[in-house]
Amino acid sequence: MLKRLALGLLALWAAAGFLYEVNAAVTGWDARDWAFEAVPWRFGSPEPVALGRCLREARRTIPPGSAVAFASADADPALALARWRWAAYLLPEDDVLQAGDPAAARVARYAITFRTEIHDPRVEPLRRLPEGWLYRVKRP
């Protein structure tokens, strides 16, 4: 009788511990904060649509196969990386480089900015884009 009681209490204790751990895991899964950060960069959301409008207008001036430097007004490096990757995706016929990349200064003929401007004597503004600017990179 004592063995059965001990075995029953042990099974009850194991079941309670298992339910406690499952409850903690489900609560942590439901309270994800990171899911909200990824939502703005999905197809059809405002950010990629605005970037697409900007790049569509730039495509009218830039010849296919050009090297293009891309810059955006982001203090967060992760967001700047996401915008650059979207720009590369939306301009598949061009070689899109980040503006801060040392290779961009050597090979890029054009620069596109999204929600920012470049004030540098090495670039010449060509035209205003929706939420951005298109520049020609001057060669020495």
What's the rounded mean pLDDT across residues 14-43?
72
What's the rounded mean pLDDT across residues 57-75?
92
What's the predicted TM-score (pTM) here? 0.70
Q: Are 90 and 129 in contact (CB under 8 A)?
A: no
Q: Are residues 56 and 26 in the same domain?
A: no
Number of domains in the chain: 2
Q: Does residue 38 form part of some domain?
A: no
Residue 65 has pLDDT above 90, yes or no: yes
Q: Are 138 and 122 in contact (CB under 8 A)?
A: yes
Task: Please state, rounded to an integer, the average pLDDT across all residues of the chain.
Answer: 87
- Expressed as residue numbers, the domain containing 12 is 2-31
What's the rounded mean pLDDT across residues 112-127?
94
Q: Are residues 26 and 60 in the same domain?
A: no
High-pLDDT (> 70) share of the chain, %: 90
Q: Does residue 37 form part of some domain?
A: no
What is the Cα–Cα distance from 59 to 44, expressed in whole angstroms?
A: 20
Q: Are residues 20 and 52 in the same domain?
A: no
